[in-house]
Chain A
Amino acid sequence: MNRVAVTGLGIVSPVGSDLEAFWSAVVGGRSGIVPLTIIPTGQLKVRLAAQVGDFDPRLHFDDKRLSVLDRFAQFAVVAARAAVRDAQLHFDAELALRTATIIGSGVGGQTTTDDSFRRLYADKVEKVHPMVIPRQMLNAATSQISIEFGLKGPAYAVATACASGSHAIGQAFHMIRAGIVPVAVAGGSEACLTVGTIKAWEALRVLSSDTCRPFARDRSGLVLGEGAAVVVLEAWEHAQSRGAQIHAEMVGFGMSADAADITAPSLDGAARAIAAALADARANPESVDYVNAHGTGTLLNDRTESAALHRVFGTFVRRLAVSSTKAVLGHGLGAAGALECVVTALALARQVIPPTANFTEADPECDLDVVPNEARPGPVELALSNSFAFGGLNAVLALKAVH
């Protein structure tokens, strides 16, 4: 079995699309949650989100390319370019044939869908843009990245709602470990901040109208976000032989299904995914230093996730630092797990544990060290990144520091 190196990180995020700006905001607890300005908010009750406010697609794509790119695919390609640049990887014809591309998304080209349906149903225009289908399809991000770099190996999209990014990266990790491919470009992308999508989330009654305060007693719900994160994963020898920088080693991936409620999380399902990631990494609970929590800031998630961590870690939960970076990044659905994988890799590379921002007071039902508001120096040797999706589909990644 191959060891797997994380050699490239790329993001498009509500707190910047430059890795240093992103990390600085995450560590400083500077939230990207702002009043929505990228869409009309007249019909909305909830008017805040972690939007990517400074993204100008024309700086990244010419008109011809843009005509086939929904916002979620734009994010994905820009993040993939950054990750490949960060990895300093050149895809020659032989490597391109053996490189996998796996990108997760919860809802795909929602901006395109929303716009074209509004033309038909509200504006009563009889025609929609001819590229609506290739823009909105859930695999568009994967296909566009594959086309961008000429990657011709295994390629597909993963849809597991809020765990899509983690499932995509985990699948790529297993593929490299098993020797199927030496390199993979994997991650998640989401651009779900449309009027139609936000109305639907409002109807679920889980959105906060002020901000996201994961694990805090006075939490008021989740705040939607958007963005993308892409990582380059490589077989260890492949990375070493070309002298690549290695941010972290990916060592485990655990999956589970709740087979219970379509929206409410399950303690059992979450705990089984965490335990599966530890088993896959051949690691003991006492060796884990940090968990980047799913931590959405909803009552049900935060309490269930706390209980699951207690079940898996037992008394060792006391030495565990647990933070949710959704207070800064919002909940980017299919991008969330990928963005949080990047946060976790950086925590290991920089030996800094990012805080849970916006924290007020502890919820006795979430009895964890949530690293309130202030980042903390390591050591961080082994870390997990949790993702628990609507539909009861769970994915947990395990990453290890490289010295």
Chain B
Amino acid sequence: MAVLDEVKAIIANQMKTPAEQLTPDTPLEGLGADSLDLIEIIYAIEEKFNIDIPFNANQQTSMPFSTIGQVAEAVDQLVAKPAS
């Protein structure tokens, strides 16, 4: 499965939204994702791809992505360098 589809599946599962309704342009906030949803999504992605996504909930500016497409891009880049 392509990274984008995996990411869609994880987000769809967390947000209880059908994956077919998600596109690369879907904003996470538009799905009603709160901070706990976000860290659960990040955790699920880290587990799935064995990567580390740097994210500190206290630094708004470090919010790594706002759309599903940006999540998938970030994962693509991080998959190249697996977690230590």
Contact = CB atoms under 8 A, between A and B. Distances in A.
B58 A206 contact: yes
A220 B56 contact: yes
A300 B39 CA distance: 15
Interface of B: 34-36, 39, 42-43, 55-60
A203 B59 contact: no
A19 interface: no
A203 B58 contact: no
27 contacts: A203-B39, A203-B43, A204-B39, A205-B39, A205-B42, A205-B56, A205-B57, A206-B56, A206-B57, A206-B58, A208-B56, A209-B56, A219-B58, A220-B58, A220-B59, A221-B58, A221-B59, A262-B36, A263-B36, A264-B34, A264-B36, A298-B57, A298-B58, A299-B57, A299-B58, A299-B59, A300-B57
Nearest to B46: A203
Interface residues of A, number: 18
Contacts of B35: 264, 300
Contacts of A220: 56, 58-59
B64 to A, nearest CB: 11
A338 B58 CA distance: 25
A137 to B, nearest CB: 30
Contacts, number: 39
Given A297-B58, A298-B57, 12 more contacts: A205-B57, A206-B58, A209-B56, A219-B58, A220-B59, A221-B56, A221-B57, A221-B58, A263-B36, A264-B36, A298-B58, A299-B58
Interface of A: 203-209, 219-221, 261-264, 297-300
A205 B55 contact: yes
Contacts of B57: 204-206, 221, 298-300
A299 B61 CA distance: 12
Which 6 A/B pairs are nearest by Cβ-Cβ distance? A221-B58, A205-B57, A299-B58, A205-B39, A298-B58, A206-B57
Contacts of B39: 203-205
B62 to A, nearest CB: 9
A261 B34 CA distance: 11
Contacts of B55: 205
Contacts of A207: 56
A61 to B, nearest CB: 39
A71 B39 CA distance: 31
A204 B43 CA distance: 10
Given A205-B55, A263-B36, A264-B35, A299 B60 contact: yes
A221 B58 CA distance: 6
Contacts of A298: 57-58
A208 B57 CA distance: 10
A264 B39 CA distance: 13
A206 B62 CA distance: 13
B46 to A, nearest CB: 10
